[in-house]
Amino acid sequence: MAAQTFDHVVIGAGSAAWGAGRAPKRVPRDHRAIVTGMKWVRRMAAQPALASLIDVETRPGPGSDSDDALLEPAAGCMSSGQHAVGTCRMGRVDDERAVVDAELRVRGIEGLRVADGSVMPSIISGNTNATCVVIGEKCADLVRGRPAPPPLDV
């Protein structure tokens, strides 16, 4: 969190995608996941049921076995999907890294709340739209002072 209201804030995507014309940002966890996935797909494609349907691997191509060789073609076709999350950490009062509290209030700025995907700790496996709508609805309830609905009995 910026120490002062007018401090410059740097927002970085922190993903494996680095965009056209920009140097790669090294994110080892993402790179391991990409390489592991590509090796898994190669093993699957080598199985008899699929191998007979494949003429040749075009990218990265046969013989490209090093992690760097596998990452290179992936770099040109990856993107974040513009689903940025996790930039405004939500946390308890004693969490110094938390930007917002459990009621979505920005620490240190009275009257300001954050009601979008940035309060999610990490990206969900699906589209973030529905989750962001629910966060917005929850924030609206908080602003209006509405109590939380009772838990569902499922």
- CA-CA-CA-CA dihedral for 62, 67, 71, 73, to nearest 10: -10
**Which of the given ranges, 6-10, 28-32, 79-83, 140-144, has the highest pLDDT on average?**
140-144
Could you report the per-residue pLDDT of 85-108, keeping only the tens digit for each? 888 888 888 988 889 999 999 999
User: Rounded to an integer, what distance in angstroms lies between the CA atom of residue 119 and that of residue 54?
Assistant: 44
Q: According to the model, what pLDDT value does residue 86 have?
A: 83
* pLDDT (average), residues 61-82: 80
Q: Which residues are catalytic?
A: 83
Q: What is the mean pLDDT of residues 46-56?
A: 92
Q: How many angstroms separate the CA atoms of 69 and 48, rounded? A: 25
**Has residue 26 got a pLDDT over 80?**
no
Pick from 48-57, 80-89, 128-137: least confident:
80-89
